[in-house]
Amino acid sequence: MRSLAGRAVLITGAGSGLGRAIAVRLARGGVHAVIGDVNADGAGQTERLIRDDGGSANAVVLDVTNPESVKAAVAGAADQFGERFDGLVNNAGTPGGSGVLQTSDDDWDQAIAVNQSGPWHLSREFLRVIGSAEREFPADIVNVISIAAISVGPNEAAYDTSKAALAMLTRVLQRDAHDNSWPVRVHGLMPGGMRTPFMAPGHPADETRMDPDTASGAVEFMLTLPQDTFVQNLVISSRNELTP
């Protein structure tokens, strides 16, 4: 298994919820966590949690819907850490929960921008930064998709559609990485409902949801796999939650 120690990993949407849980867990394993979030206060709180716990982290304001913000965050991490910067966790997401007739154009566009286009912009910039030269260990991209990509929940037209598109983007990245011999592994993770602020009222009760640390453990597993392996797609959910 590969060690996390000494690596720098950018985690998007790490100012709260699952993103924060991922950043904290990876930092405990020796990663320098680059905490990206559009909410500067939330990102700063995650940084302080990690530093108070003895870990290493820095917060950056990152709007995944803005290509210039994405470029600045990725370039900044590459300039600061060089080849140590070899991990990207595309975790940022937005619910956008409404039925087809109730979903406004703005809600639809926002869900697509955050959940689909955001990982696209970040993955492309990350691939440009790591280049094509061989590495001792491949870099890693983890796309936090959602079980919604393969199920249809009530009143989640924009969310379900955007997550299904992210699942396909993950497959496309995996195919291109293989065909072009890029020094990167692309992993897909489809978690079910978790006990985080992301889950809106009306969703399943807390007792049916996973602890976010369970999903963050799956991310850690992906990043520490032997160099000749990757996780094509992992669906993980609470046994108390039945996926429709």
Q: What is the 3-state secondary structure (H, E, C) of the chain?
A: CCCCCCCEEEEECCCCHHHHHHHHHHHHCCCEEEEEECCHHHHHHHHHHHHHCCCEEEEEECCCCCHHHHHHHHHHHHHHHHHHEEEEEECCCCCCCCCCCCCCHHHHHHHHHHHHHHHHHHHHHHHHHHCCCCCCCCEEEEEECCHHHCCCCCCCHHHHHHHHHHHHHHHHHHHHHHHCCCCEEEEEEEECCECCCCCCCCCCCHHHCECHHHHHHHHHHHHCCCCCCCCCCEEECCCCCCCC
Task: Report yes or no: 132 and 182 within 8 Å, Cβ to Cβ.
Answer: yes
Please list the active-site residues. Answer: 159
Task: Report yes or no: 41 and 18 within 8 Å, Cβ to Cβ.
Answer: no
